[in-house]
Structure 1
């Protein structure tokens, strides 16, 4: 009986040790993040450019920006050429909207127009055409964070707080965040995206 208890205790000790190691690795994984805006300062949106429209009897915090067919919104009117900038918002892509860019970083070099495009194709979000960043996004709100380090020439994308992709920058002297719907390859006839909680941050 004593031997059985010894082996059970040893096995339990081994399990606890392995579980503790697993939890340590999980907590340090790149998929687990602190507040993504730590170390950043929120930049007030410029209402001269970013106009808040109807309904006027609903608080601004409760309103949604809705963009349909080849329309987009410059976010805040802030063009930037250096430093580390971050876009944060909640997005919504209705069912059957496909083949469209819903968010981008405008500005690049070498005959490119953009440093980043996040597109919707058949219910998934992708970085340009690939890779797929998130499946099954039709008809649900998702949180999007994009961090652009101009000097390091990197762009990091987070969806619902989870890191999903890092890409190289594409140069350019001036950049701006945009969200909306731009027709791309194999675009659907109906296209729409909705946005709320739009914020812009700059690293301190």
Structure 2
């Protein structure tokens, strides 16, 4: 912002608006004025790419259903982890298998429904990073989407379908999150690693509801070539 003074004490304020690509320094934000999938190519998903993780001691149909194109996933705060030898929080998640990556620009898209009451759960994440388990998470707390448990991404997201897009530019070290086609978060990633996408419900360490659920449809993976 620049201010120019004129005679008689008049001050003119000029606001300079720069393109998102200049502000963020990465081409994952360059399409912020358009659809987040612009410039990407869809990577077809096969049944083998949809790997389910759920508490190890219960049958899958007690934590997951797939009806009329909708993946419904739920978990309880006192559930077991996904593996007998894991000390992680309970989860019921789709892990995108067979499409792990170390470089390039990748994107996951899905339409999400979160019933009122679910809180403290990760809905979507990029797993992997330099010495960390994830490079970005979108969680829901009391109806608000957050970057982990911090910055608010979007408010009032209970009991409605919304479109969620997560882009990871592994080469530039940047991540972006879009809600209903609008850029809501742009952030550095958390270092190099082996990455893959996940979605569902994965309990945070604290401040979680007893019951957590999310529903997903039209899950897609894209890559920029």
Normalised-by-shorter TM-score class: 0.7 to 0.9
What aligned pairs does 1:144-159 form with structure 2 within 5 A after superposition? 144-159=164-179
Label 1:54 to 1:150 Cα distance change in 2 as closer, same or farther (>3 A): closer
Name the counterpart of 2:135: 115
CA contact (8 A) 1:87 1:200 kept: yes
Structure 2: gaps of 5 or more residues? 1-16, 21-28, 53-64, 76-90
Of 72, 83, 103, the match for 2:124: 103
Structure of higher CA gyration radius: 1
How far apart are residue 32 of structure 1 and its match? Answer: 6.0
Structure having greater relative contact order (Cα 8 Å, sep ≥ 6): 1
What does the per-residue CA deviation read over 1:93-135, in whole Å, with 9 as the maximum and x for residues that have no partner?
110000111111000113x100001000001000011110000
Matched, 1:48 2:48: yes
Q: Which has the higher strand share?
A: 2
CA contact (8 A) 2:51 2:95 kept: no
How far apart are residue 202 of structure 1 and its match? Answer: 0.3
Matched, 1:72 2:78: no
CA contact (8 A) 2:170 2:192 kept: no
**2:47 counterpart SS class:** coil
Q: TM-score, normalised by structure 1?
A: 0.78
Across the aligned residues of Structure 1 and Structure 2, the Cα RMSD in angstroms comes to 2.4
CA contact (8 A) 2:49 2:99 kept: no
Name the counterpart of 1:11: none
Name the counterpart of 1:127: 147
Name the counterpart of 2:217: 196
Name the counterpart of 2:201: 181
Q: TM-score, normalised by structure 2?
A: 0.71
Q: Which has the higher helix share?
A: 1
- 2:49 & 2:109 partners in 1: Cα distance? 18
CA contact (8 A) 1:45 1:76 kept: no
Structure 1: gaps of 5 or more residues? 1-24
What does the per-residue CA deviation read over 1:21-44, in whole Å, with 9 as the maximum and x for residues that have no partner?
xxxx7xx77896222212111001
What aligned pairs does 1:21-60 form with structure 2 within 5 A after superposition? 33-50=33-50, 54-55=66-67, 58=68
CA contact (8 A) 1:46 1:76 kept: no
